[in-house]
Amino acid sequence: MEIIKEFLKILLILITNKYIVIMLVLIILVNIFYPKFRGFMGEFWVKQELKKLPKDKYMVINDVMLKNNDNTHQIDHLIISQFGIFVIEMKNYYGLILGNDHKDKWIQYLGKKKNYFLNPIYQNYGHVKALEELLNLDNNVFIPIVCFSNQAKLKIETKNNVVPLDYLISNIKSYKKIILEFDIETIYNKVINLNITEKSERKKHVKNIRYKLDEDKEKINNMICPRCGSNLVTRTGKYGPFIGCSSYPKCKFIKK
């Protein structure tokens, strides 16, 4: 009982000290809003970088949402030029990032903490396929780029465009061959007309993503491959046993 009384006394002192209360409130607010703030600032700096592109050669559209059949695709940034249509997937992550072209999920290391996230190359591939169909253009006019914040240390095994923000503009300008002969403003206007701006539709898109993640998790728990629907089985690799798709090598899904 004495220990409890002493604890309550200390607690009372803490909550009656306005400076400590203010500090605690600030800490709570930072924990709640920091991810959103970081995301907002990340998008801000990308937009600032893209403004460096010559306006007579590149037409920029930020935050595009398109509907293809029953699926919606949210594209972070789209740059339309005669040198190609650049489809940019932005990741405002920091820390050490590991991944390659073929893995479903990449890894973010924050010290000893490890977070998995969807392979952004796969995400961007889906965006390109939707644009290809909606704009009725050949696949070779699209140039997908995955861009990370400058705070990320990238260790990615890839043949695709995966760059830190500082190298985004130079990467885009490295494409100098004209592959779109007709007026790029026509494509720009078509994308603007297709872009979904209604808040209700955008909220529905986020909800569908969460539902899909929950659905995939349930399939994995039931030993079903979320990518192709085949059974998941225990297999053995050079690092020991693991759970992967029974349709390997056609499907290379591995349970994390």
pLDDT in tens, 21-34: 566 556 665 566 55
The answer on 171 and 213 residing in a single domain is: no
Assigned domain for 18 exists? no
Give the C-alpha distances (Å, rounded to integers) separating 237 from 215, 234, 241.
27, 10, 6
d(CA 39, CA 47): 12
d(CA 161, CA 109): 21
99 DSSP 8-state letter: E
The answer on 189 and 137 residing in a single domain is: yes
Assigned domain for 26 exists? no
The answer on 160 and 246 residing in a single domain is: no
The pTM for the full model equals 0.71
Domain boundary among 172, 197, 222: 197
Q: Do 172 and 145 form a contact (C-beta atoms < 8 A)?
A: yes
State residue 146's pLDDT score.
96
pLDDT under 50 in the chain at which residues? none
State residue 16's pLDDT score.
65
Assigned domain for 47 exists? no
Number of domains in the chain: 2
Domain containing residue 167: 56-197
State residue 241's pLDDT score.
83
State residue 189's pLDDT score.
94
State residue 163's pLDDT score.
96
d(CA 194, CA 197): 9
State residue 17's pLDDT score.
64
The answer on 204 and 193 residing in a single domain is: no
Domain boundary among 197, 226, 241: 197
d(CA 228, CA 223): 12
179: exposed, middle or buried (Cβ count in 10 Å: 0-12, 13-18, 19+): middle
The answer on 208 and 166 residing in a single domain is: no
d(CA 117, CA 3): 45
The answer on 130 and 68 residing in a single domain is: yes
The answer on 136 and 70 residing in a single domain is: yes
The answer on 234 and 120 residing in a single domain is: no
State residue 133's pLDDT score.
92
Assigned domain for 7 exists? no
Nearest to 79 by CA among 132, 161, 143: 143
State residue 106's pLDDT score.
94
The pLDDT tens digits for 110-161 are: 988 999 998 999 999 999 999 999 999 999 999 999 999 999 999 999 999 9
Q: Is the dihedral of CA 163, 166, 167, 168 positive or negative?
A: positive
Assigned domain for 37 exists? no
State residue 26's pLDDT score.
60
Assigned domain for 213 exists? yes
The answer on 74 and 60 residing in a single domain is: yes
Assigned domain for 145 exists? yes
Assigned domain for 130 exists? yes
The answer on 80 and 193 residing in a single domain is: yes
The answer on 216 and 111 residing in a single domain is: no
The answer on 235 and 116 residing in a single domain is: no
Give the residue ranges of DSSP H helices in the chain. 2-16, 18-50, 120-135, 168-173, 184-194, 199-221
Cis peptide bond prior to 241, omega within 30° of 0: no
